[in-house]
Amino acid sequence: MLRFIKDHNQKGQLAETIALNYLQKKGLIEIQRNFSCKHGEIDLIMHDNEFLVFIEVRYRKKTQFGHPLETINYAKQRKIIKTIQYFLIKFPQYSQRPCRIDALAINSQKQNAQEEINWIKNAIEA
């Protein structure tokens, strides 16, 4: 489904929706989607039991140039961490909760096949 969408922003929104639905089926509860500030953006913010989870969603149509998770480089990780710090200052009601940064990769290499989802908990250490 994702592989046939041409618009980059539309494809990103659909990838986040697929990720959100997948994670909700796993029991996570949505807090906020697309939180952004001057430091960057967090795709999904959710509850997973006692954890406040910040999720970076990545999509790749083909993996010949690398897996989607390989695109989360050091600079991107720093931006994510700074954005999380800002979120916790802006919303102090969450500041005492244990936090986790996950990554969720969506890959649609095979034609007419369901997207492959790879969810990595604690993908980024802060």
Query: 15: domain CATH number?
Result: 3.40.1350.10
Range of the domain at 99: 2-120
87 or 109, which is more confident: 87
Residue 101 lies in a domain: yes
In a domain, 125, yes or no: no
* pLDDT tens readout for residues 56-78: 998 876 555 555 566 778 999 99
Determine the pLDDT at residue 85: 96
Does the residue 110 lie in any domain? yes
Residues 107 and 118 sit within 8 Å (Cβ to Cβ) = yes
From residue 5, alpha-carbon distances to 1, 72, 108, 114 in Å are 7, 23, 12, 15
Flag whether 40 is in a domain.
yes
Contact (Cβ atoms closer than 8 angstroms) between residue 40 and residue 82: yes
Q: Which long-range contacts (CB under 8 A, 24 or more apart) does 44-50 make?
A: 44/16, 44/19, 44/20, 45/87, 48/100, 50/97, 50/98
How confident is the model over 103-117, as a mean pLDDT?
Answer: 76
Count of domains for the chain: 1
How far is residue 14's CA from residue 104's CA, in Å, rounded to a whole number?
13
- Give the span between the Cα atoms of 38 and 60, in whole angstroms: 26
Confidence band, pLDDT 50/70/90 cuts, at residue 39: very high
30 located within any domain: yes
Has residue 126 been placed in a domain?
Answer: no
- Residue 32 β-bridge partners: 45
Q: Is residue 90 part of a domain?
A: yes
